Structure formats: structure tokens, C-alpha cells
């Protein structure tokens, strides 16, 4: 069962946007997808609660009488949306089950600094050789100094930058209705779908 982890200890970098849309793409491929949050508050339920019942279902954790959480029976793919401040034992627990880690970051000095430290932590982990790790640039405004600085920074890292996702209200409007890019008419989000294609190709490898 492939497990895709979306992680960056910096808050507000677009982890939930990335995780929900990854889950939306996977379920449209016919997979039985669980979207979960590794902290016990399970904030991904807020988005899932908004998802229309007429769409392909995305599940979340099953919690038994002993408060043990696990993917529902029949799950074929898992996407984990991680909380801010993910380090130490919590990061170790996530990496023990991860097949791929996607690290979102925004074109700001604070995001770059936090991501640089996090990448070092990922690279030093004993499971690093067994996990595919990639970067995704979020809320990118093309042809800006911030975007140029972000790309200069990512070229210094030992990880691939697999996609640039633009700064658009499409993600905000869709999330408010429990939707993803793959739940609306493609012509409405054509540019965004094109930007996702390199990430999809990386996930599918």
C-alpha cells in the first residue's frame, strides 16, 4: 500500500492543499484512498466533511475502541497531511511507513530557511535511501524576484523540484467545497492541471 507523506515543519506552506489534491487525483484513478493527518486532531476531516457524497469517496482513519488508528479495510493508497513542527519521534514514525515524501515550500525567506533545515533532517534519517523525496513550489508568482530566489535555492539542494504551482484562488474556492482540481470541468482549471502533471508523473513512477 503506497504511502505518500506531505511534510514541512513550517506552517502555512500549502501542505493541506497539496495533500487533498493528491488524494483527489488518486481517487480519480480508481484507487481506494485514505487521507489522514498524523496528529490526533485529524484536521483533514474538516475538508472531508465538506466533500459532496456524489463524488468518489476519500476516507480517513478508522479509530477502534482502544483509540488505535489505522487505514480502513480495503485502502489501496494513503496520503498523510502532517502538522507543523514535525520533528524527532513524530517525524521518525511517519518516515517508517512512507514510500514518498513531498515537501511543499513557498517563495519566502522564512520558508526557505525552514525547508533547508528540514531537508537536512530528512537526508540524515536512516530510512532516507528507501524513500523518494521531492520538492513542490507553492503559490508561485511567475517572473518575480521571490520566484527566482526560490529556484536558486532549490538548485542547491540534493532533491528534485518537481512542480511549480501558481498562486491562484482556484485552490481556495475548491477547498471550501471539499473539491479538488479533478472534481470540476477540466477547462476551468486547465492551467493548474498542466502544472500538476510533472508531480503526477513523479508520484506514478
- The larger pLDDT score, comparing residue 63 to residue 22, is at 22
Strand partners, 34: 59, 78
CB-based contacts of 166, cutoff 8 Å, min separation 6:
139, 140, 141, 142, 191, 192, 195
Q: Residue 29: pLDDT band by 50, 70, 90 thresholds? A: very high
5 closest CA partner among 110, 111, 125: 125
Number of residues that make up the chain: 205
pLDDT value, residue 100 = 96
Q: What is the pLDDT of residues 6-22, one digit of tens each?
A: 999 888 899 999 999 99
Averaged pLDDT for residues 70-87: 89
Q: What is the pLDDT of residues 114-150, one digit of tens each?
A: 888 898 889 888 888 899 999 999 999 988 988 998 9
Q: What global pTM score does this model have?
A: 0.92
Q: What is the domain extent for residue 16?
A: 3-204
pLDDT value, residue 146 = 87
How many domains would you assign to the chain? 1
User: How many CB atoms lie under 10 A from the CB of residue 65?
Assistant: 5
CATH code for the domain in which residue 40 is found: 3.40.50.300
Please, what is the average pLDDT of the chain? 90
Amino acid at each position: 500500500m503506497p504511502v505518500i507523506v506531505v511534510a514541512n515543519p513550517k506552517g502555512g506552506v500549502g501542505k493541506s492543499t497539496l495533500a487533498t489534491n493528491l488524494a483527489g487525483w488518486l481517487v480519480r484513478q480508481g484507487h481506494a484512498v485514505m487521507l489522514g493527518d498524523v496528529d490526533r486532531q485529524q484536521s483533514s476531516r474538516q475538508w472531508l466533511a465538506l466533500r459532496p457524497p456524489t463524488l468518489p469517496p476519500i476516507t480517513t482513519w478508522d479509530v477502534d475502541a482502544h483509540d488505535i488508528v489505522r487505514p480502513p479495510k480495503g485502502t489501496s493508497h494513503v496520503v498523510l497531511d502532517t502538522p507543523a513542527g514535525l520533528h524527532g519521534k513524530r517525524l521518525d514514525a511517519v518516515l517508517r511507513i512512507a514510500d514518498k515524501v513531498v515537501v511543499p515550500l513557498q517563495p519566502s525567506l522564512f520558508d526557505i530557511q525552514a525547508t533547508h533545515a528540514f531537508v537536512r533532517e530528512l537526508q540524515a534519517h536512516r530510512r532516507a535511501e528507501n524513500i523518494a523525496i521531492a520538492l513542490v513550489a507553492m503559490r508561485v508568482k511567475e517572473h518575480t524576484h521571490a520566484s527566482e530566489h526560490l529556484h536558486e535555492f532549490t538548485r542547491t539542494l540534493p532533491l528534485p523540484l518537481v512542480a511549480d504551482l501558481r498562486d491562484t484562488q482556484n485552490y481556495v474556492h475548491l477547498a471550501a467545497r471539499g473539491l479538488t482540481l479533478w472534481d470540476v470541468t477540466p477547462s476551468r482549471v486547465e492551467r493548474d492541471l498542466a502544472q500538476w502533471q510533472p508531480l503526477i508523473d513523479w508520484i506514478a513512477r
